[in-house]
């Protein structure tokens, strides 16, 4: 609960309407109104006609070009996304049918002197288990979780899973057991995982490539909850929601073996070699009340580390971010794709505070920006409400990158309302550039220096409302 309250308090200090369900819903509706105008435009219809999808080995044709119904509160205690009832039903089945056991019953050592990996494996068996992990420190060399399994600790401050020093770099701290066959119904809750990248010399990368070396990896998983978990010093990502096979067959294609229906809630990650929380080639992901901060950047060459707090990456679809915070990262929230992959499609952000990140909000499709590049077929659909870019800051993570409060490149159908820059020293930059199309910013405010809007020559249909000085805490949406 602490992260939820912390993030909500920081955002609502600037946007008081964010505190109430009515104010939150009103902000979401404003964004949706802007977004629907893009949907109905002639340019939008033409772009949809041009969109083509291809099929190649181990790559699935993209199934939809439609956007999800916007998430909303509507007097409920939780933000509702369309597929939540399905996830709750599956997790309810897990709770009702799994046998409850303690890892201590299988010889785990809570003193952290003996490797407990085998005890966890025996406790989980082939699934159908809720494995309780009491207070203590448990040495592990990586856990592989089968379907229909919950691992429940006594709390982030009570239960520590610590990778032993001899664990190979390629190991994830916790991942699902069957990458290509896939797994279903996994719940991870109430512990701290220390991947301990300090086990490896600082002169070498902290990760071994591919989907290896993360704290928690869900690859080809359907129906999972990761809640009340802290991840410390992972070699790659804090939490990685991904497919078991990455497609780089080009824009318009997407991987098989995708994950879907994943909720990441109340997760804190720090010291990550690449990103705090990241998604690849997966669908229907909800990330809420998380805090991602202070990456090591050790996956990358020194000074060229694209380490983001939250990254919605290659081929991701239908991702909702709610009430999150990032700090001291290269990017606070990055929505993107590499040149040879489909872009993240249909992302909604509701409430985010980026503090001292180099690029607070960075939306791009690499290799599809400029006039000579191929037009992006998939970089489309970003809706955002209540965003704060607090002191965008130069970082040694990426030494040649100038701070930006917002960057939009190649994406179309981007609608943002209630956007605030906070900087008493430097002029924040809002850069809408290259082939960005159909971008609308409304109700933009500043505290301190007034931001500068930079529009690229190749952009089309850009609407930025008058930027006003922040009126203080006594104003409504």
Per-residue pLDDT at 474? 63
CA distance 416 to 385: 6
Q: What is the full DSSP assignment across 224-269?
A: EEEEEEEEES-SS-SEEEE-SS---S-TTEEESS--EEEEEEEEEE
Tell me which DSSP letter residue 54 carries: -
Predicted confidence at residue 80, as pLDDT, reads 85
Whole-number pLDDT of residue 273? 98
pLDDT in tens, 419-443: 999 999 999 999 999 999 999 999 9
Whole-number Å distance between alpha carbons of 330 and 360? 8
What pLDDT, on a 0 to 100 scale, did the predictor assign at position 72?
86
- The single-letter DSSP state of residue 282 is -
The pLDDT of residue 477 is 66
23 secondary structure, DSSP code: H
Find the mean pLDDT for residues 52-78.
Answer: 62
Nearest by Cα to 326 from 281, 379, 290: 290
* pLDDT value of position 371: 76
Buried b (16+ CB within 10 A) or exposed e, 253-262: bbbebbbbbb
3-state secondary structure of 143: strand
Q: What is the pLDDT of residue 254?
A: 83
What average pLDDT does the segment 270-296 reach?
97
**Token digits of residue 15:** 């946007």
pLDDT at 451: 98
Residues of the chain with pLDDT > 90: what percent? 84
Instruction: Report pLDDT for 230.
Output: 98
| Pairwise CA distance, residues 138 & 140, whole Å | 6
Write the pLDDT tens digit of every residue in 106-151: 999 999 999 999 999 999 999 999 999 999 999 999 999 999 999 9
Nearest to 379 by CA among 335, 417, 349: 335
Percent of the chain with pLDDT over 70: 93
Mean pLDDT (the chain, rounded): 92
- Tell whether the model's pLDDT for residue 283 goes beyond 60: yes
- Quote the pLDDT of residue 1: 60
472: pLDDT strictly greater than 90: no
* DSSP states of 194-230: E--GGGS-TTS-S--STT-S-SEEEESEEEEEEEEEE
Q: Which long-range contacts (CB under 8 A, 24 or more apart) does 106-115 make?
A: 108/133, 108/138, 109/138, 109/139, 110/134, 110/135, 110/136, 110/137, 110/138, 111/136, 111/137, 112/136, 112/137, 112/138, 112/139, 112/160, 112/162, 113/139, 114/139, 115/139, 115/140, 115/141, 115/164
Q: b/e string for 377-398 if b means 16 or more Cβ within 10 A?
A: bbbbbbbbbbbbbbbbbebebb
pLDDT band at 57 (very low <50, low <70, confident <90, very high): very low
The answer, yes or no, to whether residue 52 has pLDDT greater than 60, is: no
336: pLDDT confidence band, cut at 50, 70 and 90? very high
Angle at 221 between CA 216 and CA 227, to 5 degrees: 45
Strands 216-219 and 174-176: parallel
Reported as a pLDDT band with limits 50, 70 and 90, residue 78 is: confident
Q: Is the predicted pLDDT of residue 248 greater than 90, yes or no?
A: no
pLDDT of residue 341: 94
* Residue 335 pLDDT class (50, 70, 90 cuts): very high
The answer, yes or no, to whether residue 47 has pLDDT greater than 80, is: no
pLDDT score of 453 more than 80: yes
Q: How is residue 329 written in tokens?
A: 């990262």
pLDDT band at 366 (very low <50, low <70, confident <90, very high): very high
pLDDT mean over 172-194 = 97
Report helix angle 21-40 to 42-50, nearest 10: 70
Q: Is the dihedral of CA 277, 133, 157, 137 positive or negative?
A: negative
């Amino acid at each position: 609960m602490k992260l939820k309250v912390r993030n909500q308090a920081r955002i609502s200090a600037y946007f008081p309407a964010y505190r109430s369900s009515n104010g939150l819903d009103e902000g979401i509706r404003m964004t949706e109104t802007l977004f629907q105008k893009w949907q109905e435009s002639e340019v939008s219809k033409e772009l949809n006609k041009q969109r083509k999808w291809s099929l190649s080995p181990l790559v699935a044709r993209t199934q939809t070009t439609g956007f999800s119904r916007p998430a909303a509160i509507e007097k409920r205690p939780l933000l509702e996304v369309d597929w939540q009832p399905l996830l709750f039903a599956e997790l309810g089945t897990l709770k009702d049918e799994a046998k409850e056991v303690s890892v201590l019953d299988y010889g785990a050592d809570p003193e952290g002197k003996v490797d407990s990996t085998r005890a966890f494996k025996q406790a989980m068996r082939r699934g159908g288990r809720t494995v309780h992990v009491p207070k203590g420190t448990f040495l592990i060399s990586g856990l592989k979780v089968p379907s229909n399994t919950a691992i429940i600790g006594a709390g982030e401050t009570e239960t520590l899973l610590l990778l032993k020093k001899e664990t190979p770099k390629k190991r994830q701290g916790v991942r699902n057991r069957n990458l290509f066959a896939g797994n279903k119904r996994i719940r991870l809750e109430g512990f701290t995982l220390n991947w301990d990248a300090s086990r490896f010399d600082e002169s070498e990368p902290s990760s071994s490539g591919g989907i290896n070396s993360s704290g928690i990896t869900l690859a080809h998983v359907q129906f999972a909850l990761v809640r009340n978990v802290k991840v410390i010093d992972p070699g790659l990502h804090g939490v990685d929601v991904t497919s078991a096979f990455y497609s780089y067959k080009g824009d318009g294609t997407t991987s098989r073996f995708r994950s879907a229906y994943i909720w990441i809630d109340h997760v804190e990650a720090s010291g990550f070699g690449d990103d705090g929380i990241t998604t690849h080639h997966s669908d229907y992901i909800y990330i809420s009340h998380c805090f991602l901060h202070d990456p090591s950047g050790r996956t990358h060459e020194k000074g060229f580390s694209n380490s983001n707090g939250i990254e919605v990456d290659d081929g991701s679809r239908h991702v909702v971010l709610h009430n999150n915070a990032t700090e001291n990262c290269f990017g606070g929230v990055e929505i993107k794709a590499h040149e040879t992959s489909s872009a993240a499609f249909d992302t909604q952000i509701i409430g985010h505070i980026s503090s001292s990140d180099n690029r607070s909000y960075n939306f791009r499709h690499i290799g599809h920006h400029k006039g000579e590049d191929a037009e992006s077929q998939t970089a489309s659909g970003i809706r955002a409400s209540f965003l704060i870019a607090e002191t965008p800051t130069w970082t040694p993570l990426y030494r040649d990158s100038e701070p930006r409060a917002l960057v939009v490149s190649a994406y179309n159908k981007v609608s943002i309302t209630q956007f605030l820059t906070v900087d008493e020293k430097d002029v924040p930059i809002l850069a809408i550039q290259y082939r960005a199309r159909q971008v609308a910013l409304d109700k933009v405010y500043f505290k301190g220096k007034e931001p500068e809007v930079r529009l690229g020559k190749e952009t089309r249909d850009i609407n930025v409302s008058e930027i006003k000085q922040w009126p203080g805490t006594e104003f409504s949406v």
